[in-house]
Amino acid sequence: MAAVALNWWSLFPRIVQYTNRHIQHNRRRSILPIATIAAGTLLVYAVLTLTETVKAQMAELSGTLSTSTAAAIEQSTVYIAAITLIVGALETAVIMTRSVLSRIQEVGILKATGVGDQVIFSLFVTEAVLYGLVGGIVGVILGWLTAVLVQLADGTSLSSALEPAWLNVLIAAGLATVVSAVAALLPIWRIVKLSAIQALYYQF
Partner 1 sequence: MTAKFFKVAIANLLRYGTRTLLTAAGLSLAIAAVLFVNVVSLSFESGTANVYRYVRSTSNGVANIWVTPPTGFKLDSKTGFFTATSTFSEGTADAVLKANGSQGLKVLTGQWPGTAATPLVVYGRSDRNSVSISQSAAAALGVKRGEALKLKQGSVNVAQIAQVPDLAASGVIELPLAMAQQLLELPNQVSWVMLHTQDLQALQQALTAQINALFTTDPTTSDPNRPVIAYVLEGKLGRSDLVSFDIKLAALYFNQAGSTLLGWLARITLGLGFILMLSAALLSIEERRREFGIFAAVGVSSDVFYLFLLESLILFVGSTLAGLLLGALLLRLLTPALFAWDVILKSSVLVICYLPPMVIFGSLVPAQTLLQKSPLELLRGAT
User: Cβ of 77: how many Cβ atoms within 10 Å?
Assistant: 18
- Taking the complex as a whole, the smallest distance from the CB of residue 36 to partner 1 amounts, in Å, to 4
Nearer of residues 122 and 183 to partner 1, judged by Cβ: 183
* Separation of alpha carbons 192 and 48, rounded Å: 38
Nearer to partner 1, 149 or 170 (CB): 149
The percent of the chain in helix, strand and coil, each rounded to the nearest 5, is 90, 0, 10
Q: How far is the CB of 56 from partner 1 (least distance, A)?
A: 10
What is the closest distance, in whole angstroms, from the C-beta atom of residue 129 to partner 1 in the complex? 20
Minimum CB–partner distance for residue 8 and partner 1 (Å): 28
Binding site for partner 1 (CB under 8 A): 25-29, 32-33, 35-36, 39-40, 42-43, 46-47, 50-51, 53-54, 57, 60-61, 64-70, 72-73, 75-76, 79-80, 83-84, 87, 90-91, 94-95, 97-99, 101-102, 146, 150, 153-155, 203-204
If the CB atoms of residues 102 and 195 are measured against partner 1, the closer one turns out to be: 102
Residues 184/139, Cβ–Cβ less than 8 Å: no
Distance CA 42, CA 150 (A): 13
Nearest to 131 by CA among 189, 176, 174: 176
Nearer to partner 1, 7 or 26 (CB): 26
Taken in order 60, 149, 78, 168, the sign of the CA dihedral is negative
